[in-house]
Amino acid sequence: MTDHSRYSSPLTSRYASPEMAYNFSDDKKFGTWRQLWVTLAKAEHKLGLTDVTPEAIAEMEANLTPIDYKMAAEEEKKRRHDVMAHVHTFGVAAPKAAGIIHLGATSCYVTDNSELIMMRDGLEILLGKLAGVVSTLSSFAEQYKSLPTLGFTHFQPAQLTTVGKRACLWIQELLMDLRNISRARADLRFRGVKGTTGTQASFLALFDGNHDKVEALDELVTELSGFPAAYPVTGQTYTRKVDLDVLNALSSFGATAHKIATDIRLLAHLKEIEEPFEKDQIGSSAMAYKRNPMRSERVCSLARHLMTLVGNTHQTAATQWLERTLDDSANRRISIPEAFLTADILLSLLQNIFSGMVVYPSVIARRISQELPFMATENIIMAMVKDGGDRQVCHEHIRVLSHQAAARVKQEGLENDLIDRIRKEPYFAPIIPRLEQLIEPSTFVGRAPQQVATFLARDVREALEPFKERLQKGLDHVELSV
């Protein structure tokens, strides 16, 4: 039950998916600590440490859960050390192992390694969801690949594009994020067993100076923890440059999400595209007619938070003195989980938006009709020249009629009637039978439909291939509170 007398982060209480919220929960964190102690004990036993007995290991494995958080809190209050508090609590639960839990290790054995495990698992969650978002938006792009729409530069009318082609601009950035996050995941290694300052001195003492066994211990613990390799050298901690690499990728995705949601908000203002709007959803407490793009606004809001978090990891990586300093700890407890939680929420929001995005072709066509006559003037001039007309004379006729139509639009607030004026002008009689063909919107989109088809068939398919099995299983569509 929620304790309403204490602050609760909206990232977990309001927005985050259960799987990502669990990934950074106390149960996952301290459960992983216990598993790491079991893994260390198993590896030490396998390599000949007789003090670590099978009975001790079995008792540890039998008591991975539940965790007595009340006891751990009392111990931490007394010892002022969270790791030793949990060593003691685990020892009470598994008394046969009490003397060998954490044998030879420093606190960072469990803290750093558990954080790397949580980041690894968090990246896996994000990658699957990001692939799903790309797949959903790709279906949208395919559906609307040939629907002409007015393009904008500087948010001023420009040449035509298609609704699907514009979606591909979004997809291309998401593919860059898929690449960046995949790289961060592939590059992630384990801290392993390195000792207090990274020299492995304590483990060398445990194994009576046998360097081979210390190396074997590091490799075995790394393998048992599901990592292909450990960082070859560390101080007391793994380099905080790792956090920076990971959050750079997540922050970059935040910029993508913000750009996409901003575009949707602009298009919603134009009434060309809308995000899903529930039957009973209220857009405004005062203005009953409003259909605010609330999900897209939330994306922008949370994306700003995600983009700023990477600044913490820049500062932390830059200020780690020599083998380590503890001023990274409190910061990382906030910045790393919040970056993952926020990225996860953004992906759930985007999936929800893309799954139900509504397009209004009639509104789009009307806006095209307001701007296309001016864009079509060059086609009309070329057609007249091919029919034997003089380009300069034709240009002057077009110039005069265009200014008249523009004045009607800007000064009187009326529709653009340039095409009607051309129809009525005797000079243009030779091309009137072909006029509708000359101003057909689909002839102004260039290769946009072909670009969409090629991009989806080649680039998107290739990028999603590693996620094919996950996508076939389907994605959970998260119900989102307003």
- Tell me the pLDDT tens digit for each residue of 184-230: 999 999 999 999 999 999 999 999 999 999 999 999 999 999 999 99
Measured from the Cβ of residue 388, the count of other Cβ atoms closer than 10 Å reads 7
Mean pLDDT of 115-120: 97
Measured from the Cβ of residue 331, the count of other Cβ atoms closer than 10 Å reads 16
Give yes or no for residue 2 having a pLDDT over 80. no
Catalytic (active site) residue 284: yes
Q: Which tops the pLDDT comparison, 440 or 62?
A: 62
pLDDT of residue 482: 29
8, 284, 301, 442: which is the annotated catalytic residue?
284
Reported for 387-394, long-range contacts at CB under 8 A and 24+ positions apart, including other chains, are 387/430, 387/431, 388/430, 389/430, 394/427
Catalytic (active site) residue 397: no
Question: Model-level pTM?
Answer: 0.89
pLDDT bracket for residue 278 (50, 70, 90): low
154, 269, 285, 362: which is the annotated catalytic residue?
154
pLDDT of residue 370: 85
pLDDT bracket for residue 79 (50, 70, 90): confident
* Domains in the chain, CATH or no CATH each: 10-97 (1.10.275.10), 107-148+161-196+240-359+461-473 (1.20.200.10), 377-438 (1.10.40)
> Are 247 and 310 within 8 A, CB to CB?
yes
Mean pLDDT of 370-386: 85
- Tell me the pLDDT tens digit for each residue of 335-359: 999 999 999 999 999 999 999 999 9
pLDDT bracket for residue 276 (50, 70, 90): confident
pLDDT of residue 270: 95
pLDDT bracket for residue 5 (50, 70, 90): confident
Give yes or no for residue 83 having a pLDDT over 70. yes
- Tell me the pLDDT tens digit for each residue of 220-243: 999 999 999 999 999 999 999 999
Residues across the chain: 482
pLDDT of residue 175: 98
Give yes or no for residue 55 having a pLDDT over 50. yes
Mean pLDDT of 102-106: 93
CA atoms of 253 and 362, how far apart (whole Å) = 33
pLDDT of residue 13: 82
